[in-house]
Structure 1
Amino acid sequence: MCEQCGPADGASGERGNQRFTALSRRKLLLGTGAGLGVMVAGLPGLTPSASAATLKDGKWCNPARGRFPAGGNYGAPRGGYPHAGQDVTNSTGTAVYAAAAGTVVRRGTGVLTGRTGKGLVIAHGGDRYTYYGHLSAFRVALGAKVAVGQHIADMGATGNVTGPHLHFETHRGGLGSTTNPVTFLSARGVRLGGGWPAIDPGAAGATVRAVQHLMTQRGTALSADGAYGTVSVKAVKKFQSSKGLVADGQIGPKTWPVLVHSLRRGSSGSHVRALQTVLNKHGAGLAVDGGFGTATDSAVRAYQSLNRLSADGLAGPKTWEALVG
């Protein structure tokens, strides 16, 4: 889908974008072979320094729903350089979300060398960055602090492309040293493009609060404190055992479908609180009151529309999968 994705040497496409320190620039040159090309690290993928279990902590999410188009894979030849990211195709206007919390450090057209069209870069700390390319619209400002799952942009077809898609990159060890986004996110329990995530003991955040609300609805009252600790893990293991699943405490693709409920306007209970919690992760701004009324119905339909789901107001498995992913 991308006609060109050349080296990321730190050059900015807008004078107003945030400047990096001299030290960061020296690291950048080391990471890109003094600007001779993209450092494509870890082909065919990333080997995390920590165990996979410790990475599935709820800090990362899927940036956009869609499919992988032919020829849009990480490392594929592109204009003399390996393709620096993974393409996720869907229609123009599909929502693009921050894959993790951070700061928007670049925003504009051609914000990385060799990248065309509208794009933005988020710095996540620890020399980790994500790049979102070929956007049709921005939903956040340069310098904005963003939360994981926040709506930051809309998918588009700006620049040298053959059709609308998100070109998504992960940079590790500094901006300019890319890793395979599919394996990078997979190691963190996320399926790029869509799919149920995996959450391990020790995780924290909105998705964990949703799990705790869902477990309360299933008959085990839990405090929705967002910390997946001993009490919550024990409850999930008991639930998994009752459903004939491996009782390992990991909330993954086999546990999610039997944990969630199909909900619509008029539903009430802790499962609705779970739904409101994950809608709020994506910016809905709902009161977490357990009542599926007009505001929640509107939020569900808006989310479904932005993510190219059937906008019928029914929060079924496909909508849940997108929301928690």
Structure 2
Amino acid sequence: MALTGLPALTSSASAATLKDGTWCNPAQGYFPSGGYYGAARGAYAHAGQDVTNTTGTAVYAAAAGTVVRRGTAVLTGRTGNGLVISHGGGRYTYYGHLSVFRVALDAQVSAGQRIADMGATGNVTGPHLHFETHSGGLGTTTNPVTYLAARGVELGGGWPSIDPGASGATVKAIQYLITQRGTALVADGDYGSVSVAAVEKFQSAKGLVADGQVGPKTWPVLVYSLQEGSSGSHVRGLQEMLNKHSAGLVVDGDFGSVTTSAVRTYQSVNRLTVDGQAGPKTWEALVG
């Protein structure tokens, strides 16, 4: 597991306004014992959070940015293959112990783009992603679990929280799903007043708190279980989320063989049940 060099460990405050759809979960998995932020590692403290899964599990960019470091031991005290992405404003993310790189140095990446595969390179006891968030400059780490939670993301997997004012592919998926539920929306990726009102109407009809936040209570009743032969706006929402994770599909609302193949590939590289059907577990991983 990676160690800090000289970086200071700091905390990260949460704010609902940060749940704007620009951040996402970098990898599916679970937190191993002892792999948490701040855990003692000899003279140092663990600078990130470990997410355990098998070698080859997909690793995604947690937010849009530029790959500024790529190679072995790219930060002081870290071992194995790693990537650093700059997100601007003094914010960086680090991805360690990778088995395969899928982007080049200086590459511009989007949130959710596949950038690497999980591995066991460097000083490790088994395959996992060592994930760090740096805020205020490269070298000043924050707790990545709370940092992402403040942005509506559950590190390792879970339904996200999207607030009014958000934007991006996940908002498009929401708009497509709401359209399928009976209120036609333009899928422009802008979670503005019209879309918020439509979500609040849906929440009220389902007996949920009508606050406009699409979170863990709203997602499960908003998504559909889809399979080959399905068609409609809900399939467009699924295709948008697959594309966010590098599928490259035409968003046509037709769940044909190409979309089935993309679903199966996504399920495989994220260690989900590979059945080609988009059920709640697949949706949860995709929108997270």
Give the shorter-chain TM-score range: over 0.9
1:202 paired to 2:165: yes
Q: How many residues are matched?
A: 288
* Aligned pair partner of 1:120 in 70, 83, 88: 83
C-alpha deviation, 1:258, in angstroms? 0.2
Whether the 8 Å CA contact 1:266–1:293 is kept in 2: the answer is: yes
1:122-181 Cα offsets, whole Å, 9 max, x none, are 000000000000000000000000000000000000000000000000000000000000
Q: Describe the SS at the equivalent of 1:323.
A: helix
C-alpha deviation, 1:195, in angstroms? 0.1
1:47 counterpart residue number: 13
**Which amino acid counterpart does residue 250 of structure 1 have in structure 2?**
Q
C-alpha deviation, 1:54, in angstroms? 1.3
* Aligned pair partner of 2:7 in 16, 20, 38: 38
Partners of 1:197 and 1:73 lie apart in 2 by 21
Identity of aligned residues (%): 76
1:160-218 Cα offsets, whole Å, 9 max, x none, are 00000000000000000000000000000000000000000000000000000000000
Partners of 1:149 and 1:297 lie apart in 2 by 20
**Which amino acid counterpart does residue 37 of structure 2 have in structure 1?**
Y
Partners of 1:221 and 1:298 lie apart in 2 by 29
C-alpha deviation, 1:53, in angstroms? 2.0
1:87 paired to 2:54: no
Q: Describe the SS at the equivalent of 1:169.
A: strand
Partners of 1:209 and 1:6 lie apart in 2 by 38
Give the structure-2-normalised TM-score: 0.99
* Aligned pair partner of 1:228 in 178, 182, 191: 191
* Aligned pair partner of 2:100 in 137, 147, 152: 137
1:32 counterpart residue number: none
* Aligned pair partner of 1:244 in 207, 210, 214: 207
Q: How does 1:53-202 map to 2 (within 5 A)?
A: 53-202=16-165
1:33 counterpart residue number: none
1:245-275 Cα offsets, whole Å, 9 max, x none, are 0000000000000000000000000000000
Q: 5+ unaligned residues in a row in structure 2: which ranges?
A: none
**Which amino acid counterpart does residue 246 of structure 1 have in structure 2?**
V
1:6 paired to 2:43: no
1:312 paired to 2:275: yes
Give the structure-1-normalised TM-score: 0.88
**Which amino acid counterpart does residue 248 of structure 2 have in structure 1?**
G
Whether the 8 Å CA contact 1:101–1:146 is kept in 2: the answer is: yes
**Which amino acid counterpart does residue 138 of structure 1 have in structure 2?**
F
Q: 5+ unaligned residues in a row in structure 1: which ranges?
A: 8-36
Partners of 2:154 and 2:226 lie apart in 1 by 24
Whether the 8 Å CA contact 1:122–1:129 is kept in 2: the answer is: yes
Partners of 1:123 and 1:184 lie apart in 2 by 16
**Which amino acid counterpart does residue 54 of structure 1 have in structure 2?**
T
C-alpha deviation, 1:79, in angstroms? 2.5
Partners of 1:236 and 1:269 lie apart in 2 by 19
C-alpha deviation, 1:6, in angstroms? 2.6
Partners of 1:289 and 1:58 lie apart in 2 by 23
1:255 paired to 2:218: yes
Partners of 1:126 and 1:79 lie apart in 2 by 32
1:33-76 Cα offsets, whole Å, 9 max, x none, are xxxx220012xxx125xxx2210000000000000000000000
Q: Describe the SS at the equivalent of 2:97.
A: strand
Partners of 1:218 and 1:67 lie apart in 2 by 33
Q: Describe the SS at the equivalent of 1:141.
A: coil
Partners of 1:261 and 1:94 lie apart in 2 by 25
Partners of 1:224 and 1:291 lie apart in 2 by 17
* Aligned pair partner of 2:229 in 262, 266, 270: 266
